[in-house]
Structure 1
Amino acid sequence: MPEFQTLGQFIIEKQADFPYAKGELSRLLRDIGIAAKIVSREVNKAGLMNITGAAGTSNIQGEVQQKLDIYANEQFIAALRSGGECCIIASEENEHIIPINSLISKTAKYAVAIDPLDGSSNIDVNVPVGTIFSIYRRLSRAGSAVLGDVLQKGKEQVAAGYILYGSSTMLVYTTGKGVNGFTLDPAIGEFCLSHPGMQIPKQGSIYSVNEGNYVHFPQGVKQYIKYCQVNDDISNRPYSSRYIGSMVADIHRNLVKGGIFIYPGTAIAPHGKLRLVYECNPLALVIEQAGGRATNGTERILDLEVSKLHQRSPIFIGSAEMVLAAEAMLAEESLTLNRSYLD
């Protein structure tokens, strides 16, 4: 065993875990790693170059695009196009799917969904941001890929992960056999295995939620937040409130230390804000593979039907016991509402 193991070495070593693959998935993961290095380099120059701030355009979500949103989107699409292992790309920044029209891609086995730069509005204030990716096995026959290749349930993902651009750049991913984290060593330009076999604690002491929206939260969510804030020595409460505003950063911290991330439906946005395809499904797979739990409050995220490319979903994700406690309070709220209706 060498003193360190690069991402490329690790992927090749684990390739035997995929009897249906002939190296395509390994090459696809390496393509994502290459694009991540390029984006990391630009993120780290954000204070020195004219690449911060708004680009003057909006994406399909109606959100103002940052210059780095566009740059990251272009880099990941370019890497996936040139790699030849991907037949179709779905990006949070694009309204429609992006077919890869090349002779090689017509027989490519995989579809990729990606959020190129999660939390990009934080770039201007030097707060960590990230990339989220999801890989599915192609369903359509050879030729032009179709939307259905991406609109699969989250449990059908063959790989998923994220890249965190923070004090160091980390790539964390799963292929359904545990979670491993790699840190970019700028001296050699390689991602090196730094966090093997990552496991989220079953119980944590951190809750992450945008409490600025508290007045619009369902009663069950309000009840859980109050529960987190109450003194209780037995359960080590009150918990600490930590909300970064970059989902990747919040999820990564909770994965390492234990905690829950909540983005519920509200009176204004009953279906939540986060995208099921680009954010909820890939991060749910990572957290479940690390021993955690991810639901929309009542149903497992990975079991949800996907009907639209930019479909949204509430999410409760993190340490299993904390998510279960939040679900119990939501169920209690639902039961109370049903009783009131019957009365």
Structure 2
Amino acid sequence: MTKSEHITFRQFMLQEHRRVGVTKDLIFLLEDIATACRIISHQIRSGAFSGTLGATEDTNVQGETQKQLDVIANDQFMLHCANTSRVAALVSEELDNVVWQKDAPKKGDYIVYFDPLDGSSNLELNISVGSIFSIVELEEDLSSTDDAAVLIAGQKQVCAGYALYGPSTSLVVTTGDGVNGFTHLNGTGEFLLTFPNMTVPAATNEFAINASRQKYWYPPVARYVDECLHGSDGPRGKNFNMRWVASMVAEVHRILTRGGVFLYPVDTQNADMGGRLRLLYEANPMGFIIEQAGGKASVGGSRILDVAPSDLHQRVPVLLGSSEEIDLLDDYHNS
């Protein structure tokens, strides 16, 4: 398929405006996010020459050492998301508190949550990393601008997406009516529609989990993985492949393109934190995307998008992907 046969991100979003009523302000915001992702992609590709692949001397609110590109990516999201007049607040993995753009947010304004550079520990290894974002539209005026005002359940998202910085730069987006993937055409500012109507097959024979944590797993996850590893001779009656990239964006992108499940469960070592991945800007957007593609996303026995947030940087278990596997995992957790 040639460039002329692909429509641009803007053309696609304008079609969605006419077809399902995606607002023009949301389109403007998504275009700004796409611009931020394009710049981040360039910064990553030139990091070895600019000397920005290494770590800073700082840690973020998570207690994690910040990479220089974590800071650069965060700055790009902050700068470009603030362009849209309806953005009321920005919530970043890299910042302790909400950054309010308005003193008196109104109904219809947007809250933008983002992990500006997921998987940044992979940067020096030249392994794929990404950015994750989520957008919620306020359903009423806000009487105050404290952090509690942005603790909104994932089921209220109006849009979610991610950028994957790999051999090519992909932008995958849902506005609540399916999932579509775009690829950046090098040398231009254009993202072109290359993966329309992305879906997650209901069945799979592939799972992704960090097996080095096996000794910490609770029985439901240990049982599931053990049955998969027994393959055709075990109770599942088929062979499974195991994967682990240590980049949530790369794992989810694989699931969207060929199926599978991604598991980062709560275990005995991270239970005091509630899990490993953050609810508002990792689990919620990825859960929304997976559900919109026909898959399921769970914390282990219940839906991720139903979790009521209690903290900006709240952590939760994440089990997502092909629906048959997540149903089985939920059964194991609930039995």
CA contact (8 A) 1:154 1:285 kept: yes
* Residues 1:298 and 1:8: Cα distance change in structure 2 (over 3 Å): same
SS of residue matched to 1:72:
helix
Q: Shift of the alpha carbon at 1:262?
A: 0.6
In 1, the alpha carbon distance for the partners of 2:60 and 2:19 equals 38
SS of residue matched to 2:177:
coil
Alignment of 1:175-194 (within 5 A): 175-194=175-194
In 1, the alpha carbon distance for the partners of 2:31 and 2:143 equals 24
Q: Which residue does 2:161 correspond to in 1?
A: 161
Amino acid in the other structure paired with 2:60: N
**Seq. identity, %:** 38
Q: Shift of the alpha carbon at 1:148?
A: 4.4
SS of residue matched to 1:167:
coil
Residue from 15, 18, 26 that aligns with 1:16: 18
Q: Shift of the alpha carbon at 1:23?
A: 1.2
Q: Shift of the alpha carbon at 1:139?
A: 4.0
Q: Shift of the alpha carbon at 1:329?
A: 2.2
Q: Which residue does 2:282 correspond to in 1?
A: 279
* Residues 1:188 and 1:284: Cα distance change in structure 2 (over 3 Å): same
In 2, the alpha carbon distance for the partners of 1:119 and 1:58 equals 15
List per-residue Cα deviations over 1:25-84 (Å, max 9, x = no partner): 111111101111100111111222201011111000001100000000000000011232
In 2, the alpha carbon distance for the partners of 1:147 and 1:140 equals 16
SS of residue matched to 1:214:
helix
CA contact (8 A) 2:133 2:162 kept: yes
Q: Which residue does 2:265 correspond to in 1?
A: 264
Q: Which residue does 1:301 correspond to in 2?
A: 304
CA contact (8 A) 2:142 2:149 kept: no
In 2, the alpha carbon distance for the partners of 1:50 and 1:144 equals 42
Amino acid in the other structure paired with 2:185: D
Amino acid in the other structure paired with 1:24: D
Q: Shift of the alpha carbon at 1:3?
A: 1.2
* Residues 1:107 and 1:82: Cα distance change in structure 2 (over 3 Å): farther
Q: TM-score, normalised by structure 1?
A: 0.91
Amino acid in the other structure paired with 1:112: V
Q: Which residue does 1:137 correspond to in 2?
A: 137
In 1, the alpha carbon distance for the partners of 2:8 and 2:68 equals 31
In 2, the alpha carbon distance for the partners of 1:140 and 1:90 equals 19
Residue from 300, 312, 315 that aligns with 2:315: 312
In 2, the alpha carbon distance for the partners of 1:2 and 1:70 equals 36
In 2, the alpha carbon distance for the partners of 1:168 and 1:254 equals 17
Point out 4+ residue stretches in structure 1 off by more than 6 angstroms: 105-108
Q: Shift of the alpha carbon at 1:287?
A: 0.2
Task: Give the count of matched residue pairs.
Answer: 330
Q: Shift of the alpha carbon at 1:151?
A: 1.1
Q: Which residue does 2:57 correspond to in 1?
A: 56
Q: Shift of the alpha carbon at 1:322?
A: 1.1
Q: Shift of the alpha carbon at 1:102?
A: 8.4
Measured on the aligned residues, the alpha-carbon RMSD in Å equals: 2.1
The answer to whether the aligner puts 1:202 opposite 2:202 as a matched pair is: yes
Question: Which structure 2 segments of 5+ residues have no match?
Answer: none
Alignment of 1:60-139 (within 5 A): 60-101=61-102, 109-139=109-139
Amino acid in the other structure paired with 1:220: P
List per-residue Cα deviations over 1:117-176 (Å, max 9, x = no partner): 000010010000000000000245278744344211101000001100011100001011
CA contact (8 A) 1:173 1:286 kept: yes
In 2, the alpha carbon distance for the partners of 1:231 and 1:207 equals 12
Mean alpha-carbon deviation: is it higher for 207-216 or for 9-18?
Answer: 9-18
Amino acid in the other structure paired with 1:298: G
Q: Which residue does 1:341 correspond to in 2?
A: none
SS of residue matched to 1:82:
coil
Q: Shift of the alpha carbon at 1:224?
A: 0.5
